[in-house]
């Protein structure tokens, strides 16, 4: 422990002597009764681990695009899925025919059980996503006295091809006329902007085409001298306004919005859940993109070739494609496919993501000039092809040793370039990348582009991360790198690929994360998107739990276990862990993570008219997944280790509803941040009141929230063994754009200074222990990461120190993880009335101090927290208070105190300012009374009595 926390030995501190301070007394009494037995060590979420993630900017393989979507059917039909056009087309993003041939799974709730009722495919020419789309936002129309309208296009739209337009008149009841005869406009390559002119009016449409108005006549279109578009038409008598529509296709080719299936099976029913799955091998842009989103990141994120961020046929690139690896490929750790390009001598191919920057930029990583870096790539060529490796964009002058040039040989070979980044000026904001430029004549094949810190093997933990995690004492790591994928996601093959391969998980993979977790002596908390097929869920069980002996077992019979064995782990992963937490998706109530969220659904059983809430559907789906897992022949090996987790939302009963419908889920969790984007409080300010709001969170929010859900848990569980906990917790942050929030750079910085302060550290420990007192078991800190809002540590260039919240939780894990939480009675404490704030309710007489106690054998751990902030409420000038804690011991062999070295405002965000000090103290003459005369404001202290003699 001396290596992690400051140590002061041989110091005599008279605990019982009063100090001349402005103090308010608090008095607590520790009881022998156990409130929460063997409280598990806290856990942490990790976004990604490994030394190749940030420098590469994602996975370095060239893999197929895995597209998946979830829809809700809106109508009954024999062999056609009708759904909200916005879901089918993603708001006019996916074109006609994009998902022809896709796999379809139909899920239905029948008498309280979710089940797969049909497996099919989209028939050729069966995916329909074409029609008229309003140019103006919903609820807006062209005013009735306006019959000319200017149009503009964005640079990312598809330009230089015809767009189709029509106009419909709207009557006073909101009914639409027939559409005018369509016209075309071809956007110029450099479209102009529209300024001035009439403004749209609000006009609610009825959704009916039964209007009696005639269709507009003489619709015409032209490109103006300012390179904008102009539509004009004759006025329609009696019109209340006009709606302008556009389409990628002429009317005669528009097919509406539906998905036709090629087979036969049970008819589709309104309310069915539809899973759509398709894999693409580098599709051309026109196959998967509408004119509206043609050049956007949304298209590239779903379908572009990694490290190119381009698609076949894009201008300025040679022809390229993805090609499947053979079974005997010599490429080390290959994925499914590699990149192949045809070079003609004129157009080179350049690969590389912009992934690092100067220290003043603040988003990308800043390369460390003191570390060695390695770039490696597998190449082969047929013809004359040269490669050039260089650093682009980051430096004003040449990088020593760069560029590196070499000829590419005819056989697969790994090419390696070792180098160092030169130091960067502190004000450098430029963004850079490592660029691989391939030029010449012939065909070149590329795979496994990798850039990483070379002081550890590829995708291993950097030494500083390993030290931080090993010293944290966390009991489990929640794997956040496999969720938030959207429709561009992964299948089981990519999830279980070697590290560094899958682009949609930024190079993360299940074997890589399990290996790291196992090496740290922790348990895995799997988060997996809810879009796997039944075969994939069964394959996951096999991968985790089936034994495989390469000498005797058949890889064809056990492909996923064989895959694990080929990766160097023949024994089941279940042998390595005490438990495996299993969470389907992430915040499946949160529309930010669409489509992997749940919606209300009806029961389709005969004479069953039950309507299930979104939370209940989540629980039914989780139970459906668990029912598939139980079908595996390896279930008995996995079941004793598996802990299914549900994630709720604290503002409603979403998680409770899910628990009602998933009897085999063991844990219900919520996010319990201190403040943050969903608290309704805005960004915390660096003021006494701001710090006070942070310190007040435990009594004002955490206690009641925990009690409320424990009461609901007792009502729902009905004898089931279910525990309550948190899937994410710690300092919260307001985020631009979430819930319409707008915060300035100055507010962002203030928020960081407060939420990464010693006060926030004390508040975090206070909040975690408050919930433990109420009965929470598993609690999770979000997020182990260097740099960023929710980060646990500063970036290396700013010292790399842990923030106080992480430090206190890590220390607690070492001192009291697995210990019994004892009851503590409050005899007296300073009180303060807390005002309502955001979603917080007003609270009268809130306690401004707290004490917690834990016992592990003859060790007694006492935690005291001051919630006072100088100058706020009734606190004295300096906020210091005296505290007495009565203890159930008659003696102890030693006493150690832990405290922050800085005051409550000290933070490690701008550089190391505070750390936890360890001080050896004499055992009090009266061991049963711990007197603390000088508890600093907004602070925590931990006292550890070793060799304690407990009364009775």
Confidence of residue 876 (pLDDT cuts 50, 70, 90): low
**pLDDT tens readout for residues 227-265:** 999 999 999 999 999 999 999 999 999 999 999 999 999
CB atoms within 10 A of CB 494: 23
Confidence of residue 306 (pLDDT cuts 50, 70, 90): confident
* Nearest in space to 777 (alpha carbons), one of 690, 826, 870, 713: 713
Bigger pLDDT: 124 or 60? Answer: 124
Confidence of residue 873 (pLDDT cuts 50, 70, 90): confident
The whole-angstrom separation of Cα 45 and Cα 479 is: 6
The whole-angstrom separation of Cα 414 and Cα 358 is: 30
What is the 3 state secondary structure string of 312-332? CCCCCCCCEEEEECCCCCCCC
* Nearest in space to 517 (alpha carbons), one of 476, 569, 565: 476
The whole-angstrom separation of Cα 387 and Cα 441 is: 12
Predicted pLDDT at 53: 83
Mean pLDDT value across residues 162-186:
97
Per-domain residue ranges of the chain? 6-49+581-950, 57-63+306-454, 65-130+255-303
Q: Of the given ranges (7-16, 429-438, 733-742), which has the lowest mean pLDDT?
A: 7-16
Q: Structure pTM?
A: 0.95
Query: Chain-centre distance of CA 596, in angstroms?
Result: 12
Residue 575 CB contacts under 8 Å (≥ 6 apart), including other chains: none
For residue 814, give Cα distances in angstroms to 44, 210, 810, 819: 15, 72, 7, 10
- Report the mean per-residue pLDDT for the chain: 94
What is the 3 state secondary structure string of 693-757? HHHCHHHHHHHHHHHHHHHHHHHHHCCCCCEEEEEEEEECCCCCCHHHCCCCHHHHHHHHHHHCE
Cβ atoms of 898 and 917 within 8 Å: the answer is: yes
Checking if the pLDDT of 215 tops 70, the result is yes
Checking if the pLDDT of 11 tops 80, the result is no
Query: Chain-centre distance of CA 3, in angstroms?
Result: 32
CB atoms within 10 A of CB 586: 24
Query: Chain-centre distance of CA 913, in angstroms?
Result: 30
The residues facing 69 across adjacent strands are 276
The whole-angstrom separation of Cα 850 and Cα 831 is: 11
- Alpha helices, H only, 756-826: 758-774, 804-816
Cβ atoms of 819 and 856 within 8 Å: the answer is: yes
Mean pLDDT value across residues 760-777:
99
Q: Rounded to a whole number, what is the largest CA-CA distance in the chain? A: 100
Residue 452 CB contacts under 8 Å (≥ 6 apart), including other chains: 50, 51, 52, 55, 56, 373, 374, 458, 459
Mean pLDDT value across residues 705-723:
93
**pLDDT tens readout for residues 129-172:** 999 999 999 999 999 999 999 999 999 999 999 999 999 999 99
The residues facing 220 across adjacent strands are 232
The whole-angstrom separation of Cα 158 and Cα 160 is: 7
The whole-angstrom separation of Cα 745 and Cα 693 is: 21
Residue range 65-130+255-303 forms a domain whose CATH class is: mainly beta
Cβ atoms of 864 and 935 within 8 Å: the answer is: yes
Predicted pLDDT at 5: 39
Predicted pLDDT at 874: 62
Confidence of residue 189 (pLDDT cuts 50, 70, 90): very high
DSSP character string of 477-501 = EEEGGGS--TTEE--HHHHTSPTT-
Mean pLDDT value across residues 918-924:
97
Mean pLDDT value across residues 493-510:
93
Residue with tokens 């092809």: 385
Say whether domain 57-63+306-454 belongs to CATH 2.60.120.260.
yes
For residue 676, give Cα distances in angstroms to 398, 746, 906: 44, 16, 20
The whole-angstrom separation of Cα 493 and Cα 504 is: 12
**pLDDT tens readout for residues 529-586:** 999 999 999 999 999 999 999 999 999 999 999 999 999 999 999 999 999 999 999 9
**pLDDT tens readout for residues 311-334:** 999 999 999 999 999 999 999 999
Interior/surface letters 235-252, b for 16+ CB within 10 angstroms, e for the rest:
ebeebbbbbbbbbbbeee
User: In 3-state terms, what secondary structure has residue 469?
Assistant: helix
Predicted pLDDT at 435: 97
Percent share of the chain, pLDDT over 70 = 97
Predicted pLDDT at 363: 83
The whole-angstrom separation of Cα 500 and Cα 451 is: 10
Residue 100 belongs to what H/E stretch?
A: none
* Nearest in space to 364 (alpha carbons), one of 913, 907, 735, 797: 797
Residue with tokens 């998967």: 288
Residue 267 belongs to what H/E stretch?
A: none
Predicted pLDDT at 737: 80
Paired sense of beta strands 611-612 and 831-834, if any: unpaired
Residue with tokens 């003696």: 891
The whole-angstrom separation of Cα 391 and Cα 352 is: 10
Predicted pLDDT at 17: 33
**pLDDT tens readout for residues 289-300:** 999 999 999 999
User: In 3-state terms, what secondary structure has residue 869?
Assistant: coil
Query: Chain-centre distance of CA 39, in angstroms?
Result: 27
Predicted pLDDT at 4: 40
CB atoms within 10 A of CB 350: 17
**pLDDT tens readout for residues 336-389:** 999 999 999 999 999 999 999 999 887 889 999 999 999 999 999 999 999 999
Checking if the pLDDT of 209 tops 90, the result is no
């Amino acid at each position: 422990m001396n290596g992690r926390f400051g140590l002061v030995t041989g110091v005599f501190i008279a605990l019982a002597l009063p100090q001349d301070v402005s103090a308010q007394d608090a008095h607590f009494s520790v009881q022998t009764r156990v409130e929460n037995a063997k409280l598990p060590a806290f856990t942490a979420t990790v976004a990604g681990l490994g030394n190749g993630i940030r420098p590469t900017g994602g996975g370095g393989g060239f893999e197929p695009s895995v597209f998946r979507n979830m829809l809700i059917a809106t109508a009954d039909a024999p062999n056609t899925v009708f759904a909200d056009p916005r879901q089918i087309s993603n708001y006019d993003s996916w074109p006609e025919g994009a998902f022809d041939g896709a796999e379809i799974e139909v899920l239905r709730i029948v008498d309280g059980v979710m089940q797969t009722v049909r497996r099919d495919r989209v028939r050729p020419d069966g995916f329909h996503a074409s029609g008229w789309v309003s140019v103006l936002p919903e609820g807006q129309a062209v005013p009735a006295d306006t019959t000319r309208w200017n149009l503009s296009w964005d640079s990312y739209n598809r330009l230089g091809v015809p767009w189709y337009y029509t106009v419909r008149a709207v009557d006073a009841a909101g009914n639409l006329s027939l559409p005018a005869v369509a016209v075309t406009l071809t956007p110029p390559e450099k479209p102009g902007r529209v300024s001035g002119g009439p403004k749209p009016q609000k006009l609610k449409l009825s959704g009916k085409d039964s209007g009696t108005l005639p269709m507009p006549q003489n619709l015409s279109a032209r490109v103006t001298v300012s390179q904008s578009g102009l539509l004009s038409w004759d006025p329609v008598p009696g019109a209340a306004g006009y709606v302008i529509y556009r389409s990628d296709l002429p009317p005669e080719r528009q097919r509406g919005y539906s998905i036709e299936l090629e087979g036969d099976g049970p008819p589709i029913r309104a309310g069915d859940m539809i899973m759509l799955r398709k894999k693409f091998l580098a599709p051309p842009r026109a196959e998967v993109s509408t004119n509206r989103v043609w050049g956007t990141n949304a298209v590239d994120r779903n379908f572009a070739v990694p490290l190119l961020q381009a698609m076949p046929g894009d201008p300025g690139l040679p022809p390229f494609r993805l090609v499947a690896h053979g079974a005997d490929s010599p490429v080390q750790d290959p994925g499914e496919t590699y990149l192949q390009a045809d070079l003609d001598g004129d157009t080179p191919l350049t690969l590389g993501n912009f992934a690092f920057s100067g220290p003043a930029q603040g988003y990308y990583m800043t390369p460390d000039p003191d570390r060695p870096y390695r770039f490696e790539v597998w190449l082969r060529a047929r013809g004359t092809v040269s490669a050039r490796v260089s650093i682009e964009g980051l430096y004003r002058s040449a990088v020593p040793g760069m560029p590196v040039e070499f000829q590419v040989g005819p056989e697969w070979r790994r090419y390696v370039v070792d180098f160092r980044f030169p130091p960067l000026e502190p004000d450098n904001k430029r963004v850079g990348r490592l660029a691989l430029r391939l030029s010449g004549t012939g065909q070149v094949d590329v795979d496994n582009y990798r850039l990483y810190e070379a002081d550890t093997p590829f995708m291993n933990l950097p030494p500083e991360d390993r030290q931080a995690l090993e010293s944290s004492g966390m009991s489990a790591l929640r794997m956040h790198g496999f969720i938030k994928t959207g429709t561009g996601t992964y299948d089981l093959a990519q999830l279980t690929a070697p590290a560094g391969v899958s682009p949609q998980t930024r190079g993360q993979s299940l074997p890589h994360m399990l290996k790291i977790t196992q090496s740290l002596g922790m348990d895995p908390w799997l988060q997996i998107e809810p879009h796997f097929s039944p075969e994939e869920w069964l394959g996951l069980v096999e991968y985790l739990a089936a034994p495989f002996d390469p000498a005797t077992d058949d890889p064809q019979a056990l492909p996923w276990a064989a895959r694990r064995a080929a990766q160097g782990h023949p024994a089941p992963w279940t042998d390595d862990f005490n438990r495996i937490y299993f969470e389907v998706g992430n915040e499946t109530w949160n529309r930010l993570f669409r489509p992997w969220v749940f919606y209300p659904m009806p029961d389709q059983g005969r004479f069953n008219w039950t309507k299930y809430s979104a939370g209940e559907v989540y629980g039914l789906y989780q139970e459906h997944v668990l029912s598939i897992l139980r079908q595996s022949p390896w279930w008995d090996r996995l079941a004793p280790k598996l802990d299914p987790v549900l994630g709720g939302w604290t503002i409603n009963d979403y998680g409770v509803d899910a628990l009602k419908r998933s009897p085999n889920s063991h844990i219900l969790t919520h996010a319990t941040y201190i403040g943050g984007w969903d608290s309704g409080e805005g960004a915390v300010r660096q003021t006494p009141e701001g710090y006070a709001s942070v310190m007040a969170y435990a009594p004002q929010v955490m206690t009641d929230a925990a009690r409320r859900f424990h009461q609901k848990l007792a009502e729902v569980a009905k004898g089931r063994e279910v525990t309550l906990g948190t899937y994410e917790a710690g300092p919260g942050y307001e985020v631009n754009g979430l819930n319409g929030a707008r915060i300035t750079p100055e507010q962002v910085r203030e928020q960081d200074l407060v939420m990464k302060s010693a006060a926030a550290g004390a508040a975090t420990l206070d909040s975690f222990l408050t919930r433990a007192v109420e009965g929470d078991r598993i609690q999770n800190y979000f997020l182990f990461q260097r740099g960023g809002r929710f980060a646990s540590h500063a970036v290396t260039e700013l010292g790399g120190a842990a923030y106080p919240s992480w430090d206190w939780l890590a220390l607690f894990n070492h001192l009291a993880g697995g210990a019994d939480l004892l009851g503590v009675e409050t005899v007296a404490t300073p009180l303060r009335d807390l005002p309502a704030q955001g979603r917080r309710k007003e609270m009268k007489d809130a306690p401004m101090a707290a004490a917690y106690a834990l016992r592990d054998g003859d060790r007694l751990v006492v935690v005291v927290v001051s919630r006072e902030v100088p100058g706020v409420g009734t606190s004295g000038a300096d906020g210091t208070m005296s505290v007495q804690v009565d203890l159930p011991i008659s003696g102890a062999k030693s006493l150690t105190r832990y405290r922050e070295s800085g005051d409550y405002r000290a933070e490690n965000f701008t550089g190391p300012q505070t750390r936890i000090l360890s001080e050896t103290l004499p055992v009090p003459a009266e061991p049963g009374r711990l007197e603390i005369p000088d508890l600093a404001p907004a602070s925590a202290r931990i006292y550890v009595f070793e060799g304690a003699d407990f009364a009775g």
